[in-house]
């Protein structure tokens, strides 16, 4: 395991920012962190970076304690903050040079990344838009050859074209064998990129889902024109079935084909089949309130 | 010490340092030249008759202050020069931790394999180097001022070394105090506000303590009571055996407290939580 946390907690007086968070991340995995603002995502990332001292529990990266061995830990990782702020007086090239020299990494690789992200390296950071600054910080972050990359909402300020490039870069990093910890509010992006997702709520880890499993799940809704026949035993294991006055709702966690065979013989009308997706998992823990999208 | 960070720190601050040093050199040069134009008798009469109440604030008796050496040494107590020192030290020291935390640049720096202690020491080394350079520039300004002065018997510029050393030690103290405050708070504005508040309280303690005998104890509470460039300059040139211990005591207090504050701020920063930027 590259990352291991055990009962990791952080309190500020009476406020619990993170409580008893335990999870492992194997090498080469892209792990997503999901949760609304204040759920504890950033606290978790800052604990892993050694920026915060845990109130209790432990976190280790490559066997090193994240707080007491933070310099050694930082040799193993690269980090992109949610709102990356760079030295305002430097231009793009100078920024890349500074971090390349600090890390003793290749400037050429930084420049290649910058070119791919369509960065104007002659412009000073203070003259850059938020999106450009974020792209520059992303080039800084993805340059070092480290086993772990931590990205805190990397696409938050980017336009759709660059967002696509960033997602592509993350996938490439994964293909190079890097482990990626990826926090985002964009569910579709997390679903596209991540292998596994941790859902946080009020500082607690409330769910862990594998994206491949989520993708296999479907919700089927239909009106009933007569009584349903009994569900075959071989299907019952992977299916939740609910009936009410409006009709029937079936949640399938496994293969869809056998279920469709059974449904074809049922007295149904207005049949709708939709993939459940990460949104359903997320909304199970964080139900939408009025005004939420 | 990290050479990459050191280079960055130097490039960030060279313009401010060069400006402050040039102004310190020009200020002391001009100040010494102006001091050499003053008619001593009129100066003593003015202070003795019109501003008697302020005599308690003078670092040395009026006759000593009116001497060429006294008038030149007093340049190091001028508000203009002290403001330049404050500008350099407070700007740099508050930027060290609170400034970077508030600006958010600390986030990216701390993610690199660099110790927190290295970040503090590199930044502070440049600040203290700047204090030394400013002290040297001020002393050099005195030298040039004396060369162009109209004193009948101009003092040797080397005799002003105690004042320059005291000035440098004050810079070390301010750097330490401001860095310590910077390590405790979250934004640079808070740090600057607290440093200014600290200075105002110190100044009030000194003024009240010196003007009223009943409150003389207040003067002993303020760090400004050990910043006495004129007293040390005149004393060491007149009676070294008495004033050398005082020289070490005053400068040792300033530099010692400054270095202790720097060590404390480094210890605090190495242990404190680094909050997300505002």
Supply the pLDDT for residue A289: 63
User: What kind and span of H or E run contains A293?
Assistant: none
**Beta-carbon pairs below 8 A across chains A and B:** 65
Kindly determine whether residue A85 and residue B105, on different chains, have CB atoms separated by under 8 Å. Answer: yes
Average pLDDT over every residue of B263-267: 95
Average pLDDT over every residue of A42-54: 94
Supply the pLDDT for residue B52: 67
Q: Is the pLDDT of residue A291 over 60?
A: no
Note the maximum CA span of chain B: 66
Between these two residues, B275 and A288, which has the higher pLDDT value?
A: B275
Interatomic CA distance for residues A113 and A108, integer angstroms = 9
CA distance A91 to chain B (A): 13
Among the ranges A11-20, A167-176, B40-49, which has the highest mean pLDDT value? A11-20
Kindly determine whether residue A87 and residue B105, on different chains, have CB atoms separated by under 8 Å. Answer: yes
- DSSP reduced 3-state for A191: helix
Kindly determine whether residue A79 and residue B277, on different chains, have CB atoms separated by under 8 Å. Answer: no
CA B191 distance to own-chain centroid: 18
Kindly determine whether residue B112 and residue A103, on different chains, have CB atoms separated by under 8 Å. Answer: yes
Interatomic CA distance for residues A287 and B115, integer angstroms = 43
Report whether A180 contacts A30 (CB < 8 A): yes
Q: Is the pLDDT of residue A3 over 60?
A: yes
CA distance B172 to chain A (A): 27
Q: What is the DSSP letter of A125?
A: G
For residue B276, the chain A residues in CB contact (below 8 A) are 42, 46, 81
**With an 8 Å Cβ cutoff, is B104 touching chain A?**
yes
**With an 8 Å Cβ cutoff, is B6 touching chain A?**
no
For residue A86, the chain B residues in CB contact (below 8 A) are 105, 108
For residue A129, the number of C-alpha atoms closer than 13 Å in the C-beta half-sphere is: 7
Could you read off the pLDDT of A122-147 as tens digits, one per residue?
A: 999 999 988 888 889 999 999 999 99
Q: Which residue of A has its CA nearest to B117?
A: A71
Report whether A103 contacts B4 (CB < 8 A): no
Between these two residues, B126 and B213, which has the higher pLDDT value?
A: B126
CA distance B148 to chain A (A): 41
Average pLDDT over every residue of A189-213: 91
**With an 8 Å Cβ cutoff, is A42 touching chain B?**
yes
Between these two residues, A58 and A85, which has the higher pLDDT value?
A: A58
Supply the pLDDT for residue A36: 86
Query: What is the bridge-based pairing of β-strands A30-34 and A179-183?
Result: parallel
Could you read off the pLDDT of A224-272 as tens digits, one per residue?
A: 888 888 888 888 888 888 888 888 988 888 788 888 888 888 898 899 9
Could you read off the pLDDT of B202-231 as tens digits, one per residue?
A: 989 988 888 888 888 888 889 989 999 999
Which token pair is A178? 């890097």
Query: If pLDDT is split at 50, 70 and 90, which confidence band does A219 have?
Result: confident
Report whether B243 contacts B64 (CB < 8 A): no
Q: Is the pLDDT of residue A222 over 50?
A: yes
Kindly determine whether residue A83 and residue B277, on different chains, have CB atoms separated by under 8 Å. Answer: yes
**With an 8 Å Cβ cutoff, is A77 touching chain B?**
yes
Interatomic CA distance for residues A19 and A201, integer angstroms = 10
User: If we measure between CA atoms, which residue out of A151, A61, A140, A76 comes closest to residue A102?
Assistant: A140
Q: Which residues pair with A19 in a beta bridge?
A: A204
Which token pair is A46? 């800052």
- DSSP for A212-225 reads HHHHH-EEEEEEES
For residue A81, the chain B residues in CB contact (below 8 A) are 104, 107-108, 111, 276-277
Which token pair is A94? 């100078």
**pTM, two decimal places:** 0.84
User: If we measure between CA atoms, which residue out of B247, B235, B62 comes closest to residue B167?
Assistant: B247
Report whether B149 contacts B36 (CB < 8 A): yes
Q: First CA to last CA across chain A, in angstroms?
A: 37
CA distance A270 to chain B (A): 50
**With an 8 Å Cβ cutoff, is A182 touching chain B?**
no
User: What kind and span of H or E run contains A20?
Assistant: strand A15-25
Interatomic CA distance for residues A237 and A252, integer angstroms = 10
Rounded alpha-carbon distances, angstroms, from residue B226 to B212, B229, B251: 19, 9, 7
Between these two residues, A110 and B40, which has the higher pLDDT value?
A: A110
For residue A88, the chain B residues in CB contact (below 8 A) are 103
Q: Which of B2, B4, B108 sits opposite A84 (nearest CB)?
A: B108
- DSSP reduced 3-state for A57: strand
Q: Which of A77, A86, A88 sits opposite B108 (nearest CB)?
A: A86
CA B231 distance to own-chain centroid: 16
Query: What is the bridge-based pairing of β-strands A179-183 and A148-152?
Result: parallel
Rounded alpha-carbon distances, angstroms, from residue A263 to A217, A230, A271, B179, B266: 16, 11, 10, 72, 69
Q: Which residue of A has its CA nearest to B116?
A: A71
Supply the pLDDT for residue A214: 84
Query: If pLDDT is split at 50, 70 and 90, which confidence band does B89 have?
Result: very high
Between these two residues, B23 and B272, which has the higher pLDDT value?
A: B23
Interatomic CA distance for residues B131 and B174, integer angstroms = 10
Report whether A60 contacts A51 (CB < 8 A): no
State the CB neighbour count (10 A cutoff) for residue A230.
Answer: 7
CA B90 distance to own-chain centroid: 10
CA A155 distance to own-chain centroid: 11
Q: What is the CA radius of gyration of chain B?
A: 20
3-state SS string for chain B: CCHHHHHHHHHHHHHHHHHHHHHHHHHHHHHHHHHHHCCHHHHHHHHHHHCHHHHHHCCCCHHHHHCHHHHHHHHHHCHHHHHHHHHHHHHHHHHHHHHHHHHCHHHHHHCCCCCHHHHHHHHHHHHHHHHHHHHHHHHHHHHHHHHCCCCCCCCCHHHHHHHHHHHHHHHHHHHHHHHHHHHHCCCHHHHHHHHHHHHHHHHHHHHHHHHCHHHHHHHHHCHHHHCCHHHHHHHHHHCHHHHHHHHHHHHHHHHHHHHHHHHHHHHHHHHCCCCCCC
Q: What is the DSSP letter of A127?
A: G
Supply the pLDDT for residue A215: 83
For residue A49, the chain B residues in CB contact (below 8 A) are 110-111
Query: If pLDDT is split at 50, 70 and 90, which confidence band does A293 have?
Result: very low
Which token pair is A106? 């290749």
For residue A98, the chain B residues in CB contact (below 8 A) are 4, 8
Least confident segment among A205-209, B133-137, B168-172: A205-209
Query: What is the bridge-based pairing of β-strands A218-224 and A247-252?
Result: antiparallel
User: If we measure between CA atoms, which residue out of A38, A42, A25, A286 comes closest to residue A180?
Assistant: A25
Kindly determine whether residue A85 and residue B115, on different chains, have CB atoms separated by under 8 Å. Answer: no
Query: If pLDDT is split at 50, 70 and 90, which confidence band does A292 have?
Result: very low
Mean pLDDT (chain A) is: 89
Supply the pLDDT for residue B51: 66
């Amino acid at each position: 395991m590259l990352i291991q946390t055990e009962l990791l907690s952080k309190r500020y007086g009476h406020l619990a920012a993170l409580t008893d968070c335990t999870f492992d991340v194997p090498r080469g995995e892209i792990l997503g962190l999901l949760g609304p603002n204040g759920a504890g995502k950033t606290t978790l990332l800052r604990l892993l970076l050694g920026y915060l001292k845990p109130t209790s529990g432990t976190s280790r990266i490559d066997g090193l304690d994240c707080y007491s061995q933070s310099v050694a830990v930082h040799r193993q990782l690269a980090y992109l903050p949610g709102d990356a702020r760079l030295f305002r007086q430097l231009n793009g090239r100078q920024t890349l040079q500074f971090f390349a020299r600090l890390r003793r990494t290749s400037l050429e690789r930084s420049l290649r990344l910058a070119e791919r992200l369509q960065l104007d390296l002659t412009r000073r950071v203070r003259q850059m838009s938020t999106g450009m600054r974020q792209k520059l910080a992303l080039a800084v972050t993805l340059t070092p050859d480290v086993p772990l990359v931590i990205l805190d909402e990397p696409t938050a300020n980017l336009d759709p074209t660059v967002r696509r490039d960033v997602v592509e870069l993350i996938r490439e990093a994964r293909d190079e064998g890097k482990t990626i910890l990826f926090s985002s509010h964009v569910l579709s992006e997390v679903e596209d990129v991540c292998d596994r997702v941790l859902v946080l709520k009020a500082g607690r880890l409330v769910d862990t889902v594998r994206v491949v499993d989520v993708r296999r799940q479907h919700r089927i809704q239909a009106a009933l024109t007569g009584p349903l026949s009994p569900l075959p035993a071989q299907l019952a294991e992977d299916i939740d079935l609910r009936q009410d006055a409006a009709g029937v709702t079936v949640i399938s966690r496994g293969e869809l084909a056998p279920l469709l065979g059974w449904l074809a013989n049922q007295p149904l009308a207005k049949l709708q089949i939709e993939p459940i997706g990460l949104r359903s998992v997320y909304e199970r823990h964080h139900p939408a309130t009025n005004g939420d999208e | 010490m990290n050479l990459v960070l050191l280079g960055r720190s130097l490039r960030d601050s060279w313009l401010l340092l060069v400006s402050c040093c040039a102004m310190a050199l020009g200020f002391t040069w001009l100040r010494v030249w102006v001091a050499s134009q003053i008619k001593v008798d009129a100066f003593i009469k003015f202070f003795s008759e019109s501003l008697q109440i302020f005599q308690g604030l003078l670092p040395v008796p009026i006759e000593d202050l009116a001497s060429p050496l006294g008038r030149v040494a007093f340049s190091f107590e001028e508000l203009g020069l002290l403001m330049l020192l404050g500008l350099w030290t407070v700007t740099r020291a508050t930027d060290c931790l609170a400034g970077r935390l508030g600006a958010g640049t600390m986030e990216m720096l701390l993610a690199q394999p660099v110790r927190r202690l290295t970040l503090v020491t590199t930044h502070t080394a440049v600040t203290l180097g700047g204090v030394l350079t400013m002290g040297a520039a001020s002393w050099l300004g005195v030298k040039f001022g004396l060369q162009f002065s109209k004193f009948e018997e101009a003092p040797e510029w080397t005799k002003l070394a105690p004042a320059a050393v005291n000035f440098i030690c004050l810079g070390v103290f301010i750097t330490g105090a401001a860095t310590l405050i910077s390590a405790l708070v979250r934004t640079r504005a808070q740090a600057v506000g607290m440093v200014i508040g600290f200075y105002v309280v110190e100044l009030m303690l000194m003024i009240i303590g010196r003007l009223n005998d009943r409150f003389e104890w207040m003067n002993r509470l303020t760090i400004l009571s050990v910043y006495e460039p004129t007293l040390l300059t005149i004393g060491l040139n007149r009676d070294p055996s008495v004033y050398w211990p005082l020289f070490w005591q005053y400068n040792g207090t300033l530099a010692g407290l400054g270095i202790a504050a720097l060590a404390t701020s480094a210890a605090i920063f190495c242990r404190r939580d680094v909050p997300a930027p505002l």
